[in-house]
């Protein structure tokens, strides 16, 4: 249960402040030794609940990030880093005390500023598209690189231009409505005790339910 308490404290800290707690802060808050916290963090990282750096600092607790990866998400009184397009669009659904959130980024190809006021009731309008460079099955192999390359572009033409300039292969492209649906319930429950990650079969069922083709999870 200690690991779940650590996980929950990390998520609650991110939700309330936009920041991750340190090992020392977790130990003090939860009345644990720093070595117990360190062991718990490493276990949570192995189970893919969080991402750590070499200093045992929490880099990500999806959909939260402690480092800038191309997105900012602003609420009434709190500013969060968005870990990627998927995570940034998920925050309005997870942070239910916020009426809406302003998600901001720039197009990687042309550097045009992009922003959306997102809520939980309706899909955003716009011709922008999301591009996921890393295939779903490989996302956790290089998780920070994965998140840094899930970006939003002005158009499909900007995706093509960016890939050509950087000599990168085409990934998966989706419109704003599909991204909003993908993000809407994916992180449901992460702010409550006892959260369990979806098994691969359940994840595939979820992807199908929001209209994503088999190519998204590597079947095509």
pLDDT in tens, 122-180: 999 999 999 999 988 889 999 999 999 999 999 999 999 999 999 999 999 999 999 99
Residue 200 confidence (pLDDT): 86
Contact between 70 and 61 under an 8 Å Cβ cutoff? The reply is no
Per cent of the chain over pLDDT 90 is 89
How far is it, in rounded angstroms, from Cα 61 to Cα 75? 18
- Residue whose entry in the numeric block shows the structure tokens 């499909």: 156
Indicate the length of the chain as a whole number.
220
C-alpha to C-alpha distance for 6 and 25, rounded to whole angstroms? 11
Average pLDDT, the chain: 94
pLDDT of 219 strictly over 60: no
> Is the confidence at residue 97, as pLDDT, over 60?
yes
103-138 core/surface letters (b: 16 or more CB in 10 A; e: else): bbbbbbbeeeebebebeeeeebeeebbbbbbbbbee
Check residue 197 and give its pLDDT. 87
Question: What pLDDT does residue 87 have?
Answer: 97
Spatial separation of the C-alpha atoms in residues 68 and 205, rounded to whole Å:
31
Lowest mean pLDDT, pick from 9-23, 117-131, 202-216: 202-216
| Nearest-angstrom CA–CA distance, 106 and 110 | 8
Residue 198 confidence (pLDDT): 87
The yes-or-no verdict on residue 73 having pLDDT over 70 is: yes
pLDDT at position 218: 72
Please give the pLDDT value at position 147. 95
pLDDT digits (tens, 9 = 90+) for 168-201: 999 999 999 999 999 999 999 999 999 988 888 8
User: What letter does residue 115 receive in the DSSP assignment?
Assistant: E
Question: Residue 129: its pLDDT value, please?
Answer: 98
Query: What is the Cα–Cα distance from 17 to 191, expressed in whole angstroms?
Result: 14
Q: How confident is the model at residue 1 (pLDDT cuts 50, 70, 90)?
A: low
């Amino acid at each position: 249960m200690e690991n779940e308490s650590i996980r929950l404290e990390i998520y609650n800290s991110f939700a309330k402040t936009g920041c991750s707690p340190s090992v020392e802060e977790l130990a003090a808050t939860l009345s644990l030794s720093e070595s117990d916290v360190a062991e718990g963090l490493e276990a949570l990282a192995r189970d893919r609940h969080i991402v750590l750096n070499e200093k045992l600092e929490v880099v990500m607790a999806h959909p939260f990030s402690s480092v800038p990866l191309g997105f900012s998400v602003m609420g009434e009184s709190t500013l969060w880093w968005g870990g990627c397009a998927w995570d940034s669009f998920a925050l309005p659904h997870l942070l239910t005390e916020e009426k809406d959130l302003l998600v901001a980024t720039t197009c990687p190809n042309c550097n045009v500023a992009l922003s959306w006021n997102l809520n939980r009731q309706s899909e955003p309008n716009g011709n922008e598209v999301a591009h996921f460079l890393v295939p779903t099955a490989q996302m956790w192999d290089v998780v920070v690189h994965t998140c840094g390359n899930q970006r939003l572009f002005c158009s499909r033409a900007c995706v093509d231009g960016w890939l050509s300039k950087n000599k990168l292969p085409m990934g998966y492209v989706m419109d704003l409505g599909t991204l909003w649906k993908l993000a809407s319930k994916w992180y449901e429950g992460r702010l409550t005790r006892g959260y369990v990650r979806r098994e691969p079969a359940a994840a595939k069922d979820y992807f199908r339910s929001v209209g994503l083709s088999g190519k998204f999870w590597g079947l095509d």
